[in-house]
Amino acid sequence: MTLAIRTVGIEALLTPQNSVLLLIDHQPFQFANLHSHEPTLIVNNVVGLAKTAKVFQVPTILTTVLEERGGLLIKDVQDVFPDQKPINRTFINTWKISASSRR
């Protein structure tokens, strides 16, 4: 029998130790046909989120897709994590795992 422990109150809050930020494919071409929001606003918000994660030491994962065709991560985000190389995926679907990564 598995006993589930429910956390309530302050223990239920996210902390840098129990969370991660995943910034998926923030590349210039991803904003090319964006019509629902102003691209500059989105970039500014993502950069602000990245900076906040860094200040609070939240582990952050950066990804790109088809970097050789779609371009590098936007500079302002990469500047927040200058030593981190984004994971460059070859599949458009972020959740698809390539055969080589299953080994």
How far is residue 80's CA from residue 100's CA, in Å, rounded to a whole number?
30
Query: Are 75 and 62 contacting, i.e. CB atoms less than 8 angstroms apart?
Result: no
Rounded (5°) CA angle 96-56-40: 65
| Ordered per-residue pLDDT tens for the chain, 103 residues | 565 666 778 877 888 888 999 999 999 888 777 888 888 999 999 999 999 999 999 999 999 998 888 789 999 999 999 999 999 987 767 766 554 444 4
pTM: 0.77
Q: What are phi and psi of 24, to 5 degrees?
A: -100, 120
